[in-house]
Amino acid sequence: MTNPLLAEWQADFNLPPFAQINDADFAPAFEAAMQAGRAAYAAIAGNPAPPTFANTIEAMEQADHLLDRVAGVFFNLSGSDSNPAREALQRDLSPQLSGYSSEIVNNRALFDRIEALWSARDSLDLTDEQARVLMLYRRMFVRAGAALKGGDAARLTEVKSRLATLGTQFTQNLLADEREWMMPLDDLAGLPDFVIASAKAAAIERGRDGHVVTLNRSLIVPFLQFSTRRDLREKAYEAWTARGANGGTTDNRAIAAEVLALRSERASLLGYETFARYKLETEMAGTPDAVRDLLMQVWEPARAKAVADAEKLEAMLHADGHTGPLEPWDWRFYADKLRRAEHDLDEAALKPYLSLEAMIAAAFDCAHRLFGLEFRALDVPLYHPDARAWEVTRDGRHMAVFIGDYFARSSKRSGAWCSTMRSQRKLGG
């Protein structure tokens, strides 16, 4: 039977055939994709013809087409609709994919071809786009350790593999803690209707009666803002801030310490004083000093404002009959009361004007006015009933498919985030 991840996708807009994909399909698909990539890179490295932009850089751009396609599906599903099988596979895949990447950047013949092009770049008559891509490839290889030799190269490969494993475990531990914890709510005092509805939906998802608070950001943040029960706010806040630090198999403290040590070692192997200098080299700020300078411009006025606000909030706390200092689980609650008192602003009252459908329409309207984009709702099979799709066009020309997945659930990474299922591709059709 053909693996649907490896076959040509026949769905509208070449969307993945989600209904046909089983978790058991991913491991063999990744293996086949990596083998195809290895063969493609070996052919590039072993090409007897002198290196050109076409036979080296363009060829490398296409070498991982199949792997990119398989990984795009898997990692999106792992982030948005995870399950034990996918989590186990991700733990297995992380060091494998890191090892595969190290194989590529440690291929000396491949790097020599890139270096030859880089040395001759001024005579190659490259377009601005080609020159930029060549620079990015060379930088990527150098920063990944391609210029290292012997024991340093081998050690860097080990470090990157271990970091990949730890990164996956760290993320999965957080998700596990978020899934496991919940607090039944018998007292809904102060909670607006939308928070009560979310707490009811969370209870149904967990198979419980009544209402529960979970550690999903979209539920716990408004709970901390509106609940009049200080004791429950404290319990919820402490659980939220203790994710990954509860002892047992999901505790991330040892993982964090090892990650810091390995990042420092990685930077040192590559010739950087600190990991921050390595990380920021390719970012807009450029250096840790530039980042600190920017932060310090904000620090003093921000701190002064926070201290002034804290004094007001603590006074409101004491006016409510509580003793002692303002605690972290008080801040959102009393900040909301302060907004109401000083600005007559009731955030809950704004909710009817900020519905999901209204926000989607506003975002699409903004994209249209800025970029001329149009959005047309699609009726296509997706990976979860919550997900929705739109075709994106400009001047009648197809540009993309946008998938929106807006609701929190226990199988989904929390927070506001976006990703790519399939990237724009012009080479090779």
High-pLDDT (> 90) share of the chain, %: 88
Q: Are 241 and 224 in contact (CB under 8 A)?
A: no
Q: What is the pLDDT of residues 399-414, one digit of tens each?
A: 999 999 998 888 888 7
Residue of 423, 181, 386, 135 lying closest to 282 (CA atoms) = 135
Q: What is the pLDDT of residues 229-261, one digit of tens each?
A: 999 999 999 999 999 998 899 999 999 999 999
Model pLDDT, residue 150: 86
Q: How far apart are CA 352 and CA 428, in angstroms?
A: 48
Model pLDDT, residue 264: 98
Q: What is the pLDDT of residues 11-31, one digit of tens each?
A: 889 999 999 999 999 999 999
Model pLDDT, residue 149: 86
- Give the residue extent of every domain in the chain: 12-175+257-269, 181-247, 298-350, 355-404
Residue of 137, 143, 135, 136 lying closest to 160 (CA atoms) = 143
The answer to pTM > 0.85 is yes
Tokens encoding 29? 């698909």
Residues 6+ apart with CB under 8 A from 339: 345, 347
Model pLDDT, residue 104: 95
Burial class (CB in 10 A: 0-12, 13-18, 19+), 182: buried
On average, the pLDDT of the chain sits at 94
Q: How far apart are CA 423 and CA 69, in angstroms?
A: 9
Tokens encoding 276? 């921050």
Tokens encoding 121? 């770049």
Q: Are 385 and 405 in contact (CB under 8 A)?
A: no
Burial class (CB in 10 A: 0-12, 13-18, 19+), 305: exposed
Q: What is the pLDDT of residues 303-356, one digit of tens each?
A: 999 999 999 999 999 999 999 999 999 999 999 999 999 998 888 788 888 899
Tell me the residue type at 307: V
Q: CATH number for 12-175+257-269: choose from 1.10.10.60, 1.10.1370.40, 3.20.20.80, 3.40.50.740.
A: 1.10.1370.40
Q: Which residues of the chain have pLDDT under 70?
A: 1, 427-429
